[in-house]
């Protein structure tokens, strides 16, 4: 991560860099405030160029990474440990030992981490390794540290990003420059990294030389830094293996016997280790790739550690610090963060977080650094070695810290982030960063130099790397849910789940799997405790759907007090005669028919025969007591309501729908045990008036009944409106044939809307059943009728305090209507085909409160959007859905579900009422403490959903999940799931904009995230300079994802986005699950030029940045709603030929929505991938072919979320800097 980030950073900064000098101070001068931290680093850099080098690494946000790296390393060395379930102790344990090196801190960290962060470590480790390589000597140490993995874990977290190494560094540095240097290395801090990079780079570069340098001493290191450092560092960070230089460096690193050995030793990450240890050059590269993720983190950590080693310490540190320290550190472990301490103790402290700074500081030059840090010093640094480097440092972290003055200039940009990114500022920042980042990717020296100025984007945490790592590490073996509080693999990872008592992550994901025991802790950390529940989720084919349990006539067995359903958390006592509720501890008699003896362990003998006792998820059949009005429900009904106004007819929509329905009606959802669906269907068309159709099977031809009294809607017929498809097929077909004809010449342009819903609702009421309405609507309902709307699109309101009104419905009418719908179990799915403003905010109220969906096809044309619509429709009609659902989340005493997000209605504070609940809908639930939790019993939650199945059976689906509770914040941070967190944040923010100005909402998000991270930094990370940005391993992607949320169209609209689109997206996100929200905010971008046409593996995704696109490449981007095929201007003719059947770039038809079906492996494979993508998402994605530099390209670029957006959204790098600033402010 770090590496990556750095790299990126660098690039951006680089540009500015050219004026490195400029950077040095001028730019910074201003920024100081923002970058202040960075400044810190700068000084640091100056001080110890070496440190600087560290910084880069350290700078990498990924202290965590480093940590991970470390861990990885450790893992490598002790990787097995890490990887092994044991990771915790074993790895850490041993590793630490190893790590003891310089990284004692790490070690500590490892140790600490070790135990707790088992899981965490593994992921990152790889990353770390790479980093290590970066910092040759450091590596050793790093590795060591990493090994300590443990640290990584926790530390990683902490390690995160220490940006402003300098200052801290200084502080630290003094103590152990070497160490500090180490810290730097460890210090992920971006800024640091930048600076460090330069230094680091120097180190690295130097490394080859550095080794010598190391031994030599700081100065040398510096020299080295300038020389090689960048590359090296980059290499490390970027993990981008290739950097030959780095390798060499690494190779050089090898010198650091200890570290390498360690790594090497660490079996798990053989590669990485090997790399490091093996041959500096190639191997190192290899390493990076191999353990990419880890590398990143490692880079950071390693960075710190490495740096330390590299720099002054490198020589000294590396060896000595390495092992010894670790040990020392280990004790530190207590202070998980401390791990990083380059100096055993300090590092740990500063370690992860500030490590960079530390590192920087460490730069023997600390003294100098110190001064430099603040500003000038930093500047000097640049000149010193690679000026570029310095700047980087400064830029990134240095600025942050002290030198603000100088850097200030550049940093202003960051400020921008805070508010919004003023474009101008950005560049400077970049420059700064760049330095630090120096071309990890491009190992080449020149690149490095360039990079120095900027934060290297490759040096900052890379989502891709994290995703790849997780995929690599966790997809192979099934995830068993038997262990409490075990964090599942990322949503992007394909893994199998074995339900052993907790619900599958497919159903429930938590923001954290380790809840704080007390509300104070929770408040302190600011980490939201939430779960995203998708009760009817579709499971992968290889997993069994929930078992259905029937407890007989008396209904499911429940706790007497809290009414929780029988589940694995119920403790049977008194020989099985009673059971104690895991939620409220109440003791309940076991009904005689349910009695069973207990075995010697207190478990029921039939435990494994009963799904409700052994599985996290099961489904009860409900008795009549659970039915509305105590009546067995009727099978539900589907009602299709089709707009036949002029617009709809003209666009060909009506034809299309009618034609499709004829076949689609054969695929209504049904129970797997049934041959035919029980669902009845009905049809309505409407414009200004409504047309109901009598399609009773006994009729020779359908009858149309027009209801013009839209003010007071009613259903004009009783029999024959809702019919069984098979019985009335002839009449239905005749109807569907005739509808398009009947309205072919319509001139009616006005439509109504509310009466349409009322019509469906009344029909369901009349039939006394639940059901779903499919409304196909084309325009703003301006006809005289209830719920009539006016066009209120007013772009002038955007950005003002009144903006929120645009997201609120125009009238309360729809809210009330939704309430009625919910009461009847009437779910509304809305398909919109607007040519202009239709007020989605208002029209969407009913769908969003009844568990329905809104689909929007702007300017619908059959040729271009027909496919998308039909596929959406097919899926929407066919998907499994439950009706008239009530969901309640019960929790153990101590926490309570307090807030709910999603498409539903709540009439009280506990029951989530969903008129319809389909397999794609997720509800996000936030928990708060109302008492203490105990570590012993953990926190339990049970989500029960009572619903009517598509055959009219009443069912109860129960999901149970237990998570751990912790008294140490570190545990909390170690078990977080950033993707879920982002899901929560997004939903929270998207709801908040209904009531607050968007700017306030954005600020609040930033603020909370900053608090989360600063809390970590303060409490969990090893002390390091304030200039270092230290991120928890589990949250190292928080900034990038958060930035994506902040710059999403809803929160920060560009000029070209319509209000409708914003309202649409807002509602869409509300019911997204984690996987959807993840890809929605961070689109998947696949390079296609090296497609494995034979196998079924996908190419590794690249990060969403324009820089990652190569002119000669083809890229596929998807975000769950859109699918783009980007064609570079220089793509090879052959490729074009095999994809588009045209040899020239110019002849590609940008309007195509499907690729031509060509009979060549590449085309087949590509189309298969596209199909696969589409199949994965609940909505069909239309393919847009975007040619480079074509007029459509801006649309595509909009989804390159790591870049600055035209709407003013910050680039990743910029935002990271801003976050760092925020954190620093909180810390101070």
Q: What is the largest CA-CA distance in the chain?
A: 99
Q: What's the min distance (Å) between Cβ of 713 and other proteins?
A: 9
With CA atoms as reference, report the closest residue to 772 among 817, 812, 830. 830
Is 746 or 937 the residue whose CB approaches other proteins more closely? 746
Q: Are 309 and 185 in contact (CB under 8 A)?
A: yes
With CA atoms as reference, report the closest residue to 1106 among 1088, 1090, 1128. 1128
Specify the 3-state DSSP secondary structure of 812: coil
User: How many Å apart are CA 1025 and CA 355, to the nearest integer?
Assistant: 6
CB-based contacts of 971, cutoff 8 Å, min separation 6: 116, 514, 964
Is 322 or 787 the residue whose CB approaches other proteins more closely? 787
Q: Are 843 and 757 in contact (CB under 8 A)?
A: no
User: How many Å apart are CA 997 and CA 1153, to the nearest integer?
Assistant: 38
Consecutive H or E run containing 1084: strand 1084-1087
Is 741 or 930 the residue whose CB approaches other proteins more closely? 741
Q: What's the min distance (Å) between Cβ of 722 and other proteins?
A: 13
Is 755 or 916 the residue whose CB approaches other proteins more closely? 755
DSSP 1021: B
Is 708 or 1097 the residue whose CB approaches other proteins more closely? 708
From residue 212, alpha-carbon distances to 204, 216, 221, 279, 643 in Å are 11, 6, 8, 17, 78
Specify the 3-state DSSP secondary structure of 1102: strand
Is 409 or 786 the residue whose CB approaches other proteins more closely? 786
Q: What's the min distance (Å) between Cβ of 698 and other proteins?
A: 10
Is 606 or 750 the residue whose CB approaches other proteins more closely? 750
Is 742 or 1195 the residue whose CB approaches other proteins more closely? 742
Q: What's the min distance (Å) between Cβ of 712 and other proteins?
A: 6
Phi and psi dihedrals of 910, rounded to 5? -120, -30
Consecutive H or E run containing 1123: strand 1122-1127
Q: What's the min distance (Å) between Cβ of 696 and other proteins?
A: 9
Q: What's the min distance (Å) between Cβ of 708 and other proteins?
A: 3
Pairing assessment for the beta strands 881-891 and 911-918 based on DSSP bridges: antiparallel
Residues forming the site for other proteins (CB under 8 A): 689, 691-692, 699, 701-709, 712, 714, 716-720, 734-735, 738, 741-742
Report the number of secondary-structure helices (H) and strands (E) in the chain.
61, 28
Is 736 or 818 the residue whose CB approaches other proteins more closely? 736
What is the torsion angle, in degrees rounded to the nearest 10, for the CA atoms of residue 340, residue 240, residue 414 and residue 522? -50
Is 709 or 1149 the residue whose CB approaches other proteins more closely? 709
User: How many Å apart are CA 1210 and CA 419, to the nearest integer?
Assistant: 10
Is 606 or 737 the residue whose CB approaches other proteins more closely? 737
User: How many Å apart are CA 34 and CA 433, to the nearest integer?
Assistant: 13
User: How many Å apart are CA 682 and CA 731, to the nearest integer?
Assistant: 12
What would the two tokens of residue 119 be? 């899981």
Is 589 or 712 the residue whose CB approaches other proteins more closely? 712
User: How many Å apart are CA 381 and CA 20, to the nearest integer?
Assistant: 11
What is the torsion angle, in degrees rounded to the nearest 10, for the CA atoms of residue 997, residue 1003, residue 1006 and residue 1011? -120
Is 742 or 862 the residue whose CB approaches other proteins more closely? 742
Is 701 or 816 the residue whose CB approaches other proteins more closely? 701
User: How many Å apart are CA 582 and CA 594, to the nearest integer?
Assistant: 18
The secondary structure of 211-235 as a DSSP string is: TTHHHH-HHHHHTHHHHSHHHHHHH
Is 299 or 723 the residue whose CB approaches other proteins more closely? 723
Q: What's the min distance (Å) between Cβ of 714 and other proteins?
A: 5
What residues form DSSP beta bridges with 929?
Answer: 895
With CA atoms as reference, report the closest residue to 368 among 164, 163, 166, 165. 166
CB-based contacts of 723, cutoff 8 Å, min separation 6: 680, 681, 682, 695, 696, 697, 731, 732
User: How many Å apart are CA 943 and CA 496, to the nearest integer?
Assistant: 22
User: How many Å apart are CA 37 and CA 61, to the nearest integer?
Assistant: 13
With CA atoms as reference, report the closest residue to 644 among 745, 558, 716, 787. 745
User: How many Å apart are CA 334 and CA 343, to the nearest integer?
Assistant: 16
What is the torsion angle, in degrees rounded to the nearest 10, for the CA atoms of residue 1222, residue 532, residue 980 and residue 1012? 30
Is 644 or 922 the residue whose CB approaches other proteins more closely? 644
Q: What's the min distance (Å) between Cβ of 830 and other proteins?
A: 25
Is 735 or 1068 the residue whose CB approaches other proteins more closely? 735
Residue length, the chain?
1228
Q: What's the min distance (Å) between Cβ of 831 and other proteins?
A: 24
Is 720 or 771 the residue whose CB approaches other proteins more closely? 720
Q: What's the min distance (Å) between Cβ of 787 and other proteins?
A: 17
Q: Are 403 and 28 in contact (CB under 8 A)?
A: yes
From residue 46, alpha-carbon distances to 66, 195, 433, 985 in Å are 22, 8, 15, 39
With CA atoms as reference, report the closest residue to 514 among 522, 502, 506. 522
């Amino acid at each position: 991560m770090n590496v990556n980030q750095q790299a990126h950073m660098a690039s951006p900064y680089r540009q500015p860099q050219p004026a490195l000098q400029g950077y040095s101070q001028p730019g910074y001068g201003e920024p100081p405030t923002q970058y202040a931290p960075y400044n810190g680093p700068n000084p640091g850099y100056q001080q110890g160029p070496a440190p600087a080098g560290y910084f880069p690494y350290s700078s990498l946000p990924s202290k965590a990474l480093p940590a991970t790296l470390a861990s990885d390393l450790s893992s490598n060395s002790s990787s097995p440990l890490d990887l092994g379930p044991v990771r915790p102790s074993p790895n850490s344990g041993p590793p630490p030992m190893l790590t003891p090196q310089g990284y004692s801190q790490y070690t500590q960290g490892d140790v600490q981490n070790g135990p707790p962060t088992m899981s965490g470590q593994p992921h990152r480790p790889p990353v770390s390794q790479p980093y290590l390589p970066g910092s040759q000597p450091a590596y050793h140490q790093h590795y060591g540290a990493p090994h300590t993995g443990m640290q990584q874990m926790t530390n990683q977290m902490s390690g995160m990003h220490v940006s402003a190494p300098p200052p801290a560094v200084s502080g630290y540095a003094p103590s152990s420059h070497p160490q500090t240097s180490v810290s730097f290395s460890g210090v992920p801090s971006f800024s640091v990294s930048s600076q460090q990079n330069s230094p680091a780079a120097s180190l690295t570069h130097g490394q080859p030389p550095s080794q010598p340098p190391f031994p030599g001493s700081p100065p040398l290191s510096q020299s080295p830094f300038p020389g090689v450092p960048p590359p090296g560092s980059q290499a490390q960070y970027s993990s981008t293996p290739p950097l030959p230089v780095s390798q060499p460096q690494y190779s050089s690193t090898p010198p650091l016997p200890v570290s390498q050995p360690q790594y090497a030793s660490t079996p798990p990450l053989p590669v990485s280790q090997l790399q490091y240890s093996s041959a500096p050059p190639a191997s190192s590269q290899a390493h990076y790739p191999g353990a990419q993720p880890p590398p990143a983190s490692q880079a950071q950590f390693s960075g710190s550690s490495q740096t330390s080693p590299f720099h002054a310490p490198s020589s000294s540190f590396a060896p000595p610090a390495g092992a010894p320290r670790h040990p020392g550190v280990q004790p530190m472990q207590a202070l998980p963060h401390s791990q990083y301490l380059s100096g055993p103790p300090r590092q740990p402290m500063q370690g992860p977080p500030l490590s960079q700074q530390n590192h920087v500081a460490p730069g023997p030059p600390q003294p100098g650094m110190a001064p430099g840090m603040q500003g000038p010093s930093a500047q000097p640094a640049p000149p010193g070695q690679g000026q570029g480097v310095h700047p980087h440092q400064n830029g990134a972290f240095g600025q942050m810290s002290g030198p603000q003055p100088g850097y200030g200039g550049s940093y202003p940009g960051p400020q921008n982030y805070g508010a919004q990114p003023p474009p101008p500022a950005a560049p400077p920042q970049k420059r700064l960063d760049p330095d630090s980042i120096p071309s990890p990717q491009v190992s080449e020296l020149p690149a490095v130099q360039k990079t120095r100025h900027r934060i290297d984007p490759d040096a900052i945490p890379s989502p891709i790397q994290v995703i790849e790592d997780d995929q690599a590490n966790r997809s192979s073996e099934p995830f068993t849910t038997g262990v409490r509080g075990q964090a599942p693999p990322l949503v992007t990872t394909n893994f199998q789940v074995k339900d052993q008592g907790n619900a599958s992550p497919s159903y429930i994901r938590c923001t954290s799997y380790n809840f704080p025991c007390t509300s104070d802790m929770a408040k302190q950390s600011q980490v939201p405790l939430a779960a995203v529940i998708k009760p009817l989720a579709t499971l992968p084919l290889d997993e069994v759907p929930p078992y259905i349990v029937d407890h007989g006539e008396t209904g499911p067995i429940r706790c007497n007090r809290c009414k929780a359903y029988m589940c694995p958390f119920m403790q049977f006592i008194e020989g099985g005669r009673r059971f104690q509720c895991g939620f409220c501890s109440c003791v309940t008699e076991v009904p005689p028919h349910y009695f069973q003896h207990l075995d010697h362990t207190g478990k029921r003998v039939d435990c494994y025969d009963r799904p409700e006792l052994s599985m996290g998820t099961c489904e009860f059949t409900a008795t009549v007591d659970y039915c509305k009005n105590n009546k067995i429900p009727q099978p539900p009904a589907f009602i299709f309501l089709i707009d036949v106004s002029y617009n709809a007819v003209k666009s060909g929509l009506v034809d299309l729908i009618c034609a499709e329905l004829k076949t689609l009606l054969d695929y209504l959802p049904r129970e797997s045990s049934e041959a035919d669906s029980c669902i009845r269907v009905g049809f309505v068309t409407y414009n200004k008036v409504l047309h109901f159709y009598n399609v009773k099977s006994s009729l020779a031809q359908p009858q149309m009944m027009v209801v013009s009294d839209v003010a007071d809607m009613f259903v004009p017929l009783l029999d024959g409106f809702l019919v069984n498809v098979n019985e009335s097929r002839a009449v239905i077909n005749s109807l569907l044939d005739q509808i398009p004809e009947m309205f072919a010449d319509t001139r009616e342009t006005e439509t109504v809307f509310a009466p349409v819903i009322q019509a469906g609702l009344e029909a369901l009421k009349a039939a006394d059943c639940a059901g779903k309405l499919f409304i196909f609507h084309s325009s703003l309902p301006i006809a005289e009728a209830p719920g009539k709307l006016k066009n209120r699109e007013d772009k002038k309101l955007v950005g003002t305090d009144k903006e929120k009104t645009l997201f609120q419905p125009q009238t309360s009418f729809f809210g009330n209507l939704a309430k009625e719908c919910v009461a009847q179990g009437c779910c509304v799915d809305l398909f919109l085909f607007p040519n202009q403003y239709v007020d989605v905010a208002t029209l969407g109220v009913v769908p969003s409160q009844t568990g329905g969906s809104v689909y929007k096809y702007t300017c619908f044309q059959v040729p271009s959007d027909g496919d998308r619509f039909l596929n959406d429709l097919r899926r929407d009609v066919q998907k499994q859905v439950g009706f008239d659902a009530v969901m309640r989340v019960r929790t153990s005493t101590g926490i309570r579900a307090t807030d709910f997000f999603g498409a539903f209605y709540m009439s009280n504070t506990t029951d989530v009422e969903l008129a319809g609940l389909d397999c794609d809908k997720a509800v996000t639930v936030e928990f708060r403490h109302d008492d203490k939790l105990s570590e012993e019993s953990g926190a339990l939650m049970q989500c029960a959903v009572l619903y009517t199945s598509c055959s009219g059976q009443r069912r109860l689906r129960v999901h149970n999940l237990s998570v751990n509770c912790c008294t140490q914040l570190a545990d909390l941070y170690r078990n977080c799931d950033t993707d879920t967190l982002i899901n929560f944040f997004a939903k929270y923010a998207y709801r908040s904009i209904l009531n607050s100005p968007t700017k306030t909402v954005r600020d609040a998000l930033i603020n909370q995230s900053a608090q989360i991270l600063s809390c970590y930094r303060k409490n969990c990370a090893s002390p390091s300079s304030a200039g270092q940005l230290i991120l928890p391993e589990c949250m190292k992607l928080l900034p990038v994802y958060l930035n994506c949320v902040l710059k999403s169209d809803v929160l920060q609209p560009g000029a070209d986005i319509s209000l409708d689109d914003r309202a649409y997206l807002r509602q869409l996100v509300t019911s997204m699950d984690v996987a959807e929200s993840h890809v929605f905010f961070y689109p998947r971008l696949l390079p296609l030029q090296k497609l494995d046409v034979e196998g079924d593996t996908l190419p590794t995704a690249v990060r969403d940045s324009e820089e990652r696109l190569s002119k000669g490449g083809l890229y596929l981007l998807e975000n769950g709603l859109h699918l783009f095929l980007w064609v570079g201007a220089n793509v090879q003719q052959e490729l074009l030929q095999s994809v588009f059947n045209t040899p020239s770039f110019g002849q590609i038809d940008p309007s195509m929505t499907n690729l031509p079906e060509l009979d060549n492996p590449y085309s087949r494979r590509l189309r298969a991938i596209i199909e696969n993508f589409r199949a994965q998402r609940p909505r069909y994605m239309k393919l847009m072919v975007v040619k480079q530099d074509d007029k459509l390209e801006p649309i595509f670029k909009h989804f390159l979320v790591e870049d600055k957006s035209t709407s003013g959204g910050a680039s990743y790098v910029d935002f990271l800097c801003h976050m760092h600033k925020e954190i620093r402010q909180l810390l101070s």
